[in-house]
Amino acid sequence: MAAAVRQVVHDVDARVPVMNVTTLDEVASGSMAQERLMGVALGNLRVLALVLASVGLGGLLSVAVARRTNEIGVRMALGARRATVVLMVLRETFTLVAVAVAIGLPCAIAAARQAASLLFGLSPADPAILAIAIAALTSVGALAAYGPARRAARIDPISALRHE
């Protein structure tokens, strides 16, 4: 199509040079390249933040379960069921997640207000986006708690009491 455009322009005025013929899609794509790159970078940072939160929470819970081995052993020796021990670890996990949400939500809203010029078609405190973020953090917390909760439920009461 570029040859036809050059020919038409040449027929109208031969002195007008026709260079760099591009489509409107190419111009639009080029003008949005920086925004697209920023979106990809922020998406990658979001995934990295979730992985770091999961690893940190999992490590914290592993240490907490290891420190409470004797307590969990005593509870199990006195008749606590495995499900009760798992619920105890999960309760601790979701308490930490609730604190993280309570601290992080106002910070996220404040940061979104600062970056409002980059949010096309979204408000800084979009409830759907915030709900998705809270659900993602809660899911990551549940996945991080799975290993320590399972380990806590498998503690042998006799060996835990002897360990003391």
Q: Where are the domains of the chain?
A: 1-31, 33-163
Q: Percentage of the chain with pLDDT > 70?
A: 95
- Whether the pLDDT of residue 59 is over 80: the answer is yes
Residue found under tokens 């979104």: 112
Would you place residue 119 in the very low, low, confident or very high pLDDT band (cuts 50, 70, 90)?
Answer: low
DSSP letters spanning 120-145: TT--TT-HHHHHHHHHHHHHHHHHHH
Q: At 1, is the secondary structure helix, strand, or coil?
A: coil
* Whole-number Å distance between alpha carbons of 133 and 96: 16
Q: How many residues does the chain have?
A: 164
Average the pLDDT over 74-80 and give the result.
87
Would you place residue 103 in the very low, low, confident or very high pLDDT band (cuts 50, 70, 90)?
Answer: very high
**Chain segment 143-153, per-residue pLDDT in tens:** 888 888 888 88
In the structure encoding, which two tokens stand for residue 142, read together? 């549940």
Asked whether the whole model's pTM tops 0.75, one would answer no
